A and B are shown apart, each in its own frame.
Chain A
Amino acid sequence: AQSVAQPEDQVNVAEGNPLTVKCTYSVSGNPYLFWYVQYPNRGLQFLLKYITGDNLVKGSYGFEAEFNKSQTSFHLKKPSALVSDSALYFCAVPGGYQKVTFGTGTKLQVIP
């Protein structure tokens, strides 16, 4: 079964510092991997995805993610965190026909 794991329930980072939100995956075959963000009282927004090709994927709002096959990881990164980046982040993988399996979510808190 396809799955993703987000080992951290919460990540705290100071404004202006680099941030990393971790995700590891377990899939058969070539993985398709996604990151979504959810701001308070809102729906999820797509940030970026890895399908194939370059291991460094760039997405919305200055976020990027690095696909690492040997470590089965797809960590989300941003060079300089903003207070407005504070949100709930979900890693996701196709979980079957028309389904998506989401990770448990990581709450990012950016401290001014």
Chain B
Amino acid sequence: DTEVTQTPKHLVMGMTNKKSLKCEQHMGHRAMYWYKQKAKKPPELMFVYSYEKLSINESVPSRFSPECPNSSLLNLHLHALQPEDSALYLCASSRGGKDNEQFFGPGTRLTVL
């Protein structure tokens, strides 16, 4: 199984809502990532988990809260978002190391009203 799955595919939320994005991989990858992508732009790294521990936080606002319950799952908890947070949120995984590619999920299209 070389697939990364993400749910939901689409999410519309108000600025006072709390929601969560979910990501799952069964490739045994030790590194998992959250990216934010605006239209026609490259993905921007948000968080990296390595062996289920948060290893990189790219100065992301605290209204985004990542969680890695186990080696296959990655969550992104959302609270009090702003309209400018509307974007495609991508999850990825890899074996780690500079020579290994990342496997991306299809993304969650988030709209904040």
Interface set of A (CB-CB < 8 Å, partner B)? 32, 34, 36, 41-46, 49, 51, 88, 90, 94, 97-100, 102-105, 107
Contact = CB atoms under 8 A, between A and B. Distances in A.
Interface stretch (B60-68, B71-79, B93-101): B93-101
B48 A42 contact: no
Contacts of A103: 42
Given A34-B101, A43-B107, A49-B99, A88 B40 contact: yes
Given A98-B56, A98-B96, 16 more contacts: A34-B101, A36-B104, A43-B6, A43-B90, A43-B104, A43-B105, A43-B106, A44-B102, A44-B104, A94-B98, A97-B56, A98-B50, A98-B55, A102-B42, A104-B41, A105-B41
* A contacts with B: majority SS: strand
Contacts of A44: 43, 90, 92, 102, 104
Contacts, number: 53
Given A43-B4, A94-B98, A102 B43 contact: yes
What 4 A-B pairs are tightest by C-beta distance, nearest first?
A: A43-B104, A102-B42, A94-B98, A46-B101
A44 B41 CA distance: 12
A110 B10 CA distance: 28
A71 to B, nearest CB: 22
